[in-house]
Structure 1
Amino acid sequence: MSTPVSLAQAGHDHAAAAVARVREAAEGVFEALREVRDAAVACVRPAGGARRPVAADLAALRPLLWARLRGGALPAHLPAHVTALIAGIGFIAAPGLLADAPWYLEWWQENPSGAPVRLLRNMDPASSAFYDYTHWDWYAGPSSGAERTVCGPYVDYLCTDEYSLTLSVPVVAGGSFAGVAAADVFVRRFEGAVLPALREIPGPAFLVNAEGRVVASNTASWVAGSVYRDGGSAAFSVRPVGDLPLSLVTAAG
């Protein structure tokens, strides 16, 4: 029979393994976003910055975005459960960045029936249907200085109608904020990547974002989308997932 000490140690080891698994999954997406960020900087500084960029300059991003949607061309050390997470990805320009399009997004989504499809939104501020993306957390986080943002879970009514996460990073060109590189990940896929490790943890265990919203869980008591507030409770232990805006919450013991 296992002793209390060995059970506690086993729980600690499984929690550490779960943290590693979550970090691996999230870092895979952020690694793709860093590539998009670097490519976007090259696009928005045409001719060495001798002229203002235009929307056509961002077309050079498309082969990279399409490859990331297919999970292709990522570093070989990333396993399949990481490379298949991304459902939408792109670059969202800071208002006024482009000379011919004050508001612009180069955003592509996967298409199960064929080639990736571009997301088109009304970018006319005078229109009642104007899509002001600057109000969304995935944009506001990077624009306010956050190096990595995890937004959601939320129902993505604008793109896929799926329960989703959006991960994003700032794009800085020439010392100025130029926009955001972001990616959508379906919650069901992210859960599929991390749930096997969460299930190894004895007792309730769930992953939360910086706002305390549950992202994935091994218990029906804390479903994705619910909000966890610590409040100094001794019932749970909270472990940061590296320097990501995510934490693993487990039953104390």
Structure 2
Amino acid sequence: MSERRRHSWMEIRDSIRGLILNATYGPGDKLPRDEELALRFGCARSTVHRAMRDLAQNGIVERRRKGGTTVRRDPVTRATLDIPITRLEVEQRGYRYRHRLIRQSVQDTPPAIMANFGFSEPRAMLRVEALHLADNRPYIFEDRWISLETVPEITSVDLTHENANEWLVRNRPYSKCDLRLYARTATAGDRDMLQAQEGEALFVMERTTWIDAAPITSLCAVAHPGYQLFTQG
């Protein structure tokens, strides 16, 4: 008999990650033994073990034989928190959020994306183009390439209902990030997508992430006219 969904290893992984993100367990803290977590979550020990293995592979915890599991002192999730979840950003500004998948397909990486990742030759990746909306008005347009080698699970995600931005933030923390911010003038092609008038200034963010040397995603995000990025340190 299969486990109920709430007891799947992914649910347990997300619960443990949540305890780390909300500082219940901080850098260097030792986590409870797998047996204790299994009792706490009401699941099999093997389910906890699978969840912990994923967290370790993604640089969030360290597991040592006979030494237990500890939160990394330089956890990768610290970097992940710097990537905003667009849905939350929209809702925090008091707007109603909606997401629209425009298209997705597996394609060979073009020269610009190859350069972002440092590839010497094209690789097949999932290209996802999507629009985030605030009160049904264009907010941010995303053109994103996702590595199918590093993130094979993305093929089973319904990106019409779950946006790639939020899924990746919650499921694929990174250890390295290249970020470029700049402005460009709106073109005729931005009129329909972002309701921008030709010549208006648009904010552009290009971001490429890796876990160790493995590529995760390369994103070009273009915001609506008047968009402002606000951050606190």
TM-score when normalising by structure 2: 0.24
TM-score when normalising by structure 1: 0.23
When you count strand as a share of all residues, which structure comes out higher? 2
